[in-house]
Amino acid sequence: MKPNTSYRLGASVLLANSLLKVHASPQASPAVSLLFQNDGNWTNYANLPSALIFYDAVTFDEAEAICRANNETLLSSTSLKALTQQFTYLEYLKDITPTTRYWISTGATTPLSSSNVSQAQPREKLQFLCTNSAPHTTIVDTDFSASPRTTVTSNGIVYTGTRDHLTFRFMGIPYAQPPVGPLRFKDPEPWNGTAVDATFFKPVCLQFGFFGSDDFGLMPWGNSEDCLNLHVFTPYIPSSNPSKSAPALKPVLFWIHGGGNTQGTGEDATFDGGSLVSRTDSVVVTVDHRLNIFGYLGLDDAIKGNYAIADKVAALQWVHDNIAQFGGDPERVMIFGQSAGGSSVIELVKTPKARGLFSAAISQSGGGSPVWQNYTAAAAAVLPELNVFCNSTGAERLACLQALPADTILNITNTVTTWMGVVDGEYVVNDTVSQVSQGPSGVNSVAYMAGFMPEEGESLLGTTIAPNMTEFDPGSIVGEALGEKILASGLWNPSASFTPYNATIYVYTDWLLTCPAEEMITAAANADTFPSLYVYEMQRAYALSYFDAYDLCTFPVGNIEPPYYRCHSGDLYEVFGTYYIFDQPVRNVRDIEYTTMIQDMWGSFARTGNPNPPSAYLKARGYQSTLDVLSHFTWPQYTAASPRVAQLQYPGISTGTLPDIGRCVIIDS
Ligand SMILES: *[C@@H]1O[C@H](CO)[C@@H](O)[C@H](O)[C@H]1NC(C)=O
Ligand SMILES: *[C@@H]1O[C@H](CO)[C@@H](O)[C@H](O)[C@H]1NC(C)=O
Ligand SMILES: *[C@@H]1O[C@H](CO)[C@@H](O)[C@H](O)[C@H]1NC(C)=O
Ligand SMILES: *[C@@H]1O[C@H](CO)[C@@H](O)[C@H](O)[C@H]1NC(C)=O
Ligand SMILES: *[C@@H]1O[C@H](CO)[C@@H](O)[C@H](O)[C@H]1NC(C)=O
Ligand SMILES: *[C@@H]1O[C@H](CO)[C@@H](O)[C@H](O)[C@H]1NC(C)=O
Ligand SMILES: *[C@@H]1O[C@H](CO)[C@@H](O)[C@H](O)[C@H]1NC(C)=O
Ligand SMILES: *[C@@H]1O[C@H](CO)[C@@H](O)[C@H](O)[C@H]1NC(C)=O
Ligand SMILES: *[C@@H]1O[C@H](CO)[C@@H](O)[C@H](O)[C@H]1NC(C)=O
Ligand SMILES: *[C@@H]1O[C@H](CO)[C@@H](O)[C@H](O)[C@H]1NC(C)=O
C-alpha cells in the first residue's frame, strides 16, 4: 500500500537536507547488509534476487531517496518473498524480530509474512529494503568501473569499494608501503595514505608461472613489485556511528594462497569471496604478499629474510585494526590456506609475531613445514647467483641489490627455485614438531584443523611421470636412499589394480605432504597443544580448470562418481564455490551438496572453533542438505586417545584414521 502521494511530493524538498546529512559525511553512513540466499546451485545465482537491508529507521521518502542514491529502488514484494529464508536467519541472529516492519516499494511490511503490508504513516521511521541490481561477477577480468560505490572510513582512511550480486567488495587495499627502493628486502612499513580506491584489483607480485602474465587468462591485472594489498569481501557494513544498535560483527576468514612460495595471488578469481561470504555470512579477506626471492632472500643481519611472513603478519595486523568497520569481528579471525598457503598457516601458528591476531586456523594440504633453513644454508643456495650482480657483503650488498632492476632480481628465481623461511629467532624460532610438542605455550594455541587430498601427488607430479609407466622407481622421486627403504617395506608395491603410476603418486603424496602433516598432528595431539584439533581427508575433489594432469583429477558431467584422482588443489572450488567464474559445470548434484557442506563446516569453524554447525543455525538458514548429513554425523575432535579423522564426502561422510600412518613410519625413518 503506497503512502499518500501528496505527502511524498511535499517531502522531497525536505529530502535534500536529510540526504546531505546521510551522504555528505562518511561518518553518518548507515548500517547495511547484502542479502542473498546461497543454495549452492552456482549455475542459477544470477537468477536469484539480491537485496540491501538498511538498519537505520527513516521515513518512506528518505528510504526511497537512499535507495536511489545507491542507484537502486525500494524492493518489490515479489523479491521480498523470494528472500524469506534470509529473514528467518536474521531473526535467528536476533537482528530483527518477527514484528519488525520495513519499507518496501508498496509500503510497510513484516518480511516473514510478506502478504501483510500494513497501513503506515509515511512519516513513520522504519528500516528499509532496496534492490541490489549490481551485476554478478562471472569472469576473471570483470570491470567494476560502472558498479555501485560504497565507502567505509577506518582510522581516518576512506576506502571506496563496490558491490556485486553476492557481496560488497574492496579490492587492492594497501596494508603496507610498497616494498620498493630502500624498502626492498625490508620488513613492511605501515601505509600512510588517506584514501584508497578499492574498486579494482591492482598488479600482483612479481613471479613466473600461471600468474606471471595473462597467458593463461587468469591474471589480467599485471605484475609489480608494489603488491602488498589485501582484498575484503563482506556481507555487512556497520554504521560508522557506534551508538546505533546494529547486527553483530561477522567472523573473518583470512585466506593465504598457495603456489610454492614463488607463485600465486589473493586476486586469483578462484578465491573470489562472493560464494563463501553469502553462504557463511562471514567476511572473507585474501592477501597478496611478497613471493620468491623478494619474500625470502635471507643472508645476514642486513638481509634477514622472512619478508613474506612479515607481510602476512602486517596484513593480519591491518585486519585486527580495521576489519570491524568492514563488518568483521577482530576477535574471530580464522586463518586458512592451501598448499604453501597451508604451510603459511603453520608458520603463523608458530611465530610469536602473530600472537593474538587470530583465533582459528585451517591448513589445507599444507604439510608440516618441519624444517627451515639456517642463514648458512640459505646463503649458500643463492650467493653464486647474487655475486654476479652484487659481490660485496652486509649493508653494501643490500644497497647494491636495492638498486638493481626488479626483473634482474626476479630472474634469480628461475635458477634458485626453492624459497623458504630462515631461522631468525624472531619470525621463525624453531622447527614445527619442537614447538608443537611444547604444548599450548609453544605456539599460538588456537582451534586448529588440518587435512589432505588422497592423491595430491598426481597434479603435483604433473607430466613428469605418465599413467602408462611400467616401472616403480620411488628413488627417482624421493632420492635413492629413501627409495630403497620404500621398496624394501613392500608398503607401496604395485599390484594388478594398483599400477606403478598409482604407487608413485602415493609415495610422492606421503613424502611431500601427508607424513609431515601427520607428524605435526600426532605431536599436537600428544601435547594437547590446541584447544581443539580436527583432521580431515577429502574424499571428493574438483580439479581446477587449468590444473588437471592427463584429465584424471575430475570426472565427466552426468556421472555418478567413478574412480578419479582427488588431486592437490581439488579442494579449492569446493571451499570457495567459485566454479561459475571458470565455467565449470555441475558434474552431478553432489557437487552442490558437498561444496555447501564444506562451506558450512569452514564457516562454523571460524565462528566457534568447531566445524559442526548447530542444527538450529542450519535450519534458520534453510541449509537442508547439510542438515540431512549432520543430523546423523558429528565430526569428532582428533585426540591422542581417539585419533579420528573425518572422511569428508556427501552423503557418505564417516570417520577413519590417519591415511598413511604405517607408511609414514618408513618415510620418517
Ligand atoms: C540449478 O539451476 C539450474 C538453472 O540454472 C536448474 O536447471 C537445475 O535444475 C538446478 N539444479 C539443482 C540441483 O537444483
Ligand atoms: C500484520 O502486521 C501487523 C503489524 O505488525 C500485526 O499487528 C498483525 O497481526 C499482522 N497480521 C497478520 C494477519 O499477520
Ligand atoms: C550511480 O550512478 C551514477 C551514474 O552512473 C554514478 O555517477 C554514481 O556514482 C552511482 N552511485 C553509486 C552509489 O554507485
Ligand atoms: C609516507 O611514507 C613514505 C615512505 O616511507 C614517505 O616517503 C612519505 O613522505 C610518507 N607520506 C606521508 C604523507 O607521511
Ligand atoms: C645449517 O644447515 C645445514 C643444512 O641443513 C647444516 O648442515 C648446518 O650444520 C647448519 N649450520 C648451522 C650453523 O647450524
Ligand atoms: C666484484 O664485482 C666488481 C664489479 O663488477 C668486480 O670489479 C670485482 O672484480 C668483483 N670481485 C670479485 C671478488 O668477484
Ligand atoms: C630475465 O631473463 C630473461 C630470460 O632468460 C631474459 O630475457 C631477460 O633479459 C632477463 N631480464 C633481466 C632484467 O635480466
Ligand atoms: C628448539 O626446540 C628444541 C627441542 O625442543 C629445544 O631443545 C631448543 O631449545 C629450541 N630452540 C629454541 C631457539 O627455542
Ligand atoms: C606413455 O604416455 C606418454 C604421455 O601420455 C606418451 O608420450 C608415451 O608415448 C606413452 N608411451 C607408451 C609406450 O605408450
Ligand atoms: C590406479 O590407477 C588407475 C589409473 O592409472 C585408476 O583407474 C585406479 O583407480 C587406481 N587404483 C587405485 C587403487 O588407486
Whether the predicted pLDDT of 6 surpasses 90: no
Confidence of residue 241 (pLDDT cuts 50, 70, 90): confident
Concatenating the DSSP letter of every residue in 316-382 gives HHHHHHHGGGGTEEEEEEEEEEETHHHHHHHHHHH-GGGTTS-SEEEEES-------B-HHHHHHHH
Closest-lying ligand to the alpha carbon of 226? 4
Q: Single out the residue of 589, 590, 596 nearest to residue 613, CA to CA.
A: 596
In three-state secondary structure terms, 174 is: strand
Residues with Cβ within 8 Å of 121's Cβ and at least 6 positions away in sequence, in order, are 3
397 touches 404 (CB < 8 A):
no
DSSP assigned state of 252: E
The stretch 619-632 carries a mean pLDDT of 97
Concatenating the DSSP letter of every residue in 270-316 gives GG-SHHHHHHHT-EEEEE----HHHHH-B-SSSSB--HHHHHHHHHH
Residue bearing the CA closest to ligand 7, atom 7? 411
For the purposes of burial, counting CB atoms within 10 Å of the CB of 588, is it exposed (0-12), middle (13-18) or buried (19 or more)? middle
Ligand 1 surroundings by CB, under 6 angstroms: 41, 43-44, 589, 592
How far apart are alpha carbons 600 and 605 in whole angstroms?
9
Confidence of residue 662 (pLDDT cuts 50, 70, 90): confident
pLDDT of residue 13: 30
List the beta bridge partners of residue 638.
643
The stretch 245-253 carries a mean pLDDT of 91
Confidence of residue 185 (pLDDT cuts 50, 70, 90): very high
pLDDT of residue 643: 97
pLDDT of residue 24: 37
229 touches 288 (CB < 8 A):
yes
165 touches 188 (CB < 8 A):
no
CB atoms < 10 A from the CB of 98, how many? 11
List the beta bridge partners of residue 555.
none
Query: What percent of the chain lies above the pLDDT cut of 70?
Result: 94
Determine the distance separating the centroid of ligand 6 and the alpha carbon of 397, expressed in angstroms: 12
Look up cell 528499509; give the residue. Answer: 128
The stretch 595-623 carries a mean pLDDT of 98
Q: Which of 6-15, 305-314, 514-523 has the lowest mean pLDDT?
A: 6-15
Q: Single out the residue of 301, 162, 307, 155 nearest to residue 228, CA to CA.
A: 307
131 touches 67 (CB < 8 A):
yes
Residue bearing the CA closest to ligand 9, atom 13? 468
- Cell numbers found for residue 641: 586417545
Closest-lying ligand to the alpha carbon of 117? 2
Q: Is 470 in the pocket of ligand 9 (CB under 6 A)?
A: no
Closest-lying ligand to the alpha carbon of 431? 8
What tens digit of pLDDT does each residue of 467-492 get? 999 999 999 999 999 999 999 999 99
Whether the predicted pLDDT of 18 surpasses 60: no
- Cell numbers found for residue 473: 622407481
Determine the straight-line distance between the first and last CA of the chain, rounded to whole angstroms.
77
Determine the distance separating the centroid of ligand 5 and the alpha carbon of 208, expressed in angstroms: 30
Confidence of residue 16 (pLDDT cuts 50, 70, 90): very low
Determine the distance separating the centroid of ligand 7 and the alpha carbon of 398, expressed in angstroms: 21
What tens digit of pLDDT does each residue of 37-48 get? 999 999 999 999
Determine the distance separating the centroid of ligand 7 and the alpha carbon of 411, expressed in angstroms: 6
Across all residues in the chain, what is the average pLDDT?
A: 93
Q: Which long-range contacts (CB under 8 A, 24 or more apart) does 208-216 make?
A: 208/262, 208/263, 208/410, 208/413, 208/414, 209/259, 209/262, 209/263, 210/259, 210/263, 210/264, 210/546, 211/259, 211/263, 211/264, 211/265, 211/268, 212/263, 216/546
Q: Single out the residue of 179, 282, 171 nearest to residue 230, CA to CA.
A: 171
* Sheet-wide strand order for 126-131: 117-118, 107-109, 102-104, 126-131, 51-58, 32-35, 236-237
Q: Residue 33 phi/psi, 5° resolution?
A: -120, 155
Burial readout 131-156 (b: 16 or more C-beta within 10 A, e: otherwise): bbebebbbebebebeebbebbbebee
For the purposes of burial, counting CB atoms within 10 Å of the CB of 655, is it exposed (0-12), middle (13-18) or buried (19 or more)? middle
Q: Is 374 in the pocket of ligand 5 (CB under 6 A)?
A: yes
Q: Which of 27-41, 80-94, 166-180, 224-238 has the lowest mean pLDDT?
A: 27-41
Concatenating the DSSP letter of every residue in 380-433 gives HHHHHHHTTT----HHHHHHHHHHS-HHHHHHHHHHS-----B--SSS--S-HH
The stretch 510-533 carries a mean pLDDT of 96
pLDDT of residue 99: 85
List the beta bridge partners of residue 74.
130
Whether the predicted pLDDT of 15 surpasses 90: no
Closest-lying ligand to the alpha carbon of 624? 1
Ligand 4 surroundings by CB, under 6 angstroms: 177, 189, 192
Q: Which amino acid belongs to residue 235?
A: P
pLDDT of residue 659: 80
Q: Single out the residue of 93, 95, 246 nearest to residue 617, CA to CA.
A: 93
Whether the predicted pLDDT of 20 surpasses 70: no
CB atoms < 10 A from the CB of 587, how many? 18
pLDDT of residue 579: 98
Concatenating the DSSP letter of every residue in 47-86 gives GS--EEEEEEEE-HHHHHHHHHHTT--BPPHHHHHHTHHH
pTM of the model: 0.94
pLDDT of residue 28: 59
Closest-lying ligand to the alpha carbon of 52? 3
Residue count of the chain: 669
Concatenating the DSSP letter of every residue in 472-503 gives --THHHH-HHHHHHHHHH-TT---SSS-HHHH
Whether the predicted pLDDT of 4 surpasses 70: no
How far apart are alpha carbons 234 and 278 in whole angstroms?
9
Closest atom, ligand 8, to C-alpha of 434: 5
Q: Which long-range contacts (CB under 8 A, 24 or more apart) does 385-389 make?
A: 385/412, 385/415, 385/416, 386/412
How far apart are alpha carbons 138 and 516 in whole angstroms?
38
* Residue whose CB lies within 8 A of the most ligand 2 atoms, among 106, 118, 126, for a mutation test: 118
Determine the distance separating the centroid of ligand 6 and the alpha carbon of 305, expressed in angstroms: 24
For the purposes of burial, counting CB atoms within 10 Å of the CB of 73, is it exposed (0-12), middle (13-18) or buried (19 or more)? middle
Determine the distance separating the centroid of ligand 6 and the alpha carbon of 392, expressed in angstroms: 8
206 touches 294 (CB < 8 A):
yes
Q: Residue 423 phi/psi, 5° resolution?
A: -70, 110
Query: What percent of the chain lies above the pLDDT cut of 90?
Result: 87
Residue bearing the CA closest to ligand 3, atom 2? 71
Residue bearing the CA closest to ligand 7, atom 4? 411
Q: For residue 558, how far is the Cα from the chain centroid? A: 29
Q: Which amino acid belongs to residue 658?
A: L
The stretch 648-656 carries a mean pLDDT of 97
